[in-house]
Amino acid sequence: MKQILAGNTQAVLTPWVIAAVSLTAACAKIPRANVSAGQTTSAANSLAPNQNSSQININTASIADLERLPGIGNGLAARIVEHRNSFGYFRRVEHLLMVRGISDRKFRELRPLITVE
């Protein structure tokens, strides 16, 4: 009887162990190139060579102005303007994350290109 239970335990645990090892490997972080705070991404460089003079103010920008930003289409630009009209001006650029469709990744791409004044 002990041999039967031991065989079943191994048969039950083996798939779980394989799944755990596979998930651990799949969740491993991939190293990225280090970008210091003073450097910008290529998308930021293409739109704003001199950041201070070319940043788009998200509190006053029209839909057409917002569409010039990388990854912002007509629908997302309209949601940004709608959010601004409904809740008032953005006090910080980080508040753009409250708009549906702005992910953390997209915000990091936009951060050097936008301002609130």
Query: What pLDDT does 72 receive?
Result: 95
On the question of pLDDT at 46 being above 50, the answer is no
**Tokens in use for 31?**
């190293």
Above 70 in pLDDT, residue 23? no
pLDDT at 44 over 90: no
- Tell if the pTM clears 0.75, that is, is over it: no
Which of the four pLDDT bands, split at 50, 70 and 90, describes residue 98? Answer: very high
Burial of 80: CB neighbours in 10 Å, binned 0-12, 13-18, 19+: buried
3-state helix, strand, coil in the chain (%, to 5): 60, 5, 35
Tokens of 88: 């008032």
Mean pLDDT of the chain: 76
Both tokens assigned to 14 = 């083996």
Q: Is the pLDDT of residue 89 over 80?
A: yes
The domains located in the chain, with CATH, are 42-115 (1.10.150.320)
What pLDDT score does 117 carry? 87
- Quote the pLDDT of residue 30: 46
